[in-house]
Amino acid sequence: MADQIIKNIWNSGYEWKSKLKVFGLPLVHIALGRDSQTGKFLVAKGVIAIGQFAIGVVALGQFSVGIFAAAQFTLSICFGLGQFAAGYACIAQFGIGEYVLAQFGFGKYVWSMTVNNPAALAYFNSLL
């Protein structure tokens, strides 16, 4: 049953946008799967964007771009969380940024398997 639902969403897509808009963007935009007319992947664009491809202030997805983003591949302005993340601060398996907590990280202040910068640890502890 669940497999069929996922297959239907993937093939025909699912999209929902809130009626409330902020700066011309929907407050929440959820977009999954492919557009049933064009076959192209749907992209979520909103203040809060959720989908395989998400662009927003807060973006959640497989590929996300935002001020705050969580994804497998993420590009963020302030904070990114993901397998591959880039941004001012990020927590990732592979991370690039000013403050990085990662298995493999590159940046000014890095806490990783090979680099133990105390400023990075202090920064991430301060977030808690």
In this structure, the number of other CB atoms found within 10 A of the CB of residue 45 comes to 18
Count of residues in the chain: 128
Q: Which residues pair with 65 in a beta bridge?
A: 55, 75
70-to-4, 59, 60, 97, 106 alpha-carbon distances in Å: 27, 6, 5, 15, 18
Entry pTM:
0.85
- Beta-strand relationship, 14-17 and 28-32: antiparallel
**pLDDT, position 54:** 97
Contacts of 47 (CB under 8 A, 6+ apart): 22, 23, 25, 26, 27, 28, 56, 57, 58
% of the chain beyond a pLDDT of 90 = 81
**pLDDT, position 48:** 98
Run of H or E including 8: helix 2-12
pLDDT digits (tens, 9 = 90+) for 9-32: 556 788 999 999 999 999 999 999
**pLDDT, position 117:** 95
Rounded Cα–Cα distance for residues 65 and 42 (Å): 15
Given a cut of 50, the residues of the chain with pLDDT beneath it are none
Run of H or E including 75: strand 43-111
**pLDDT, position 91:** 96
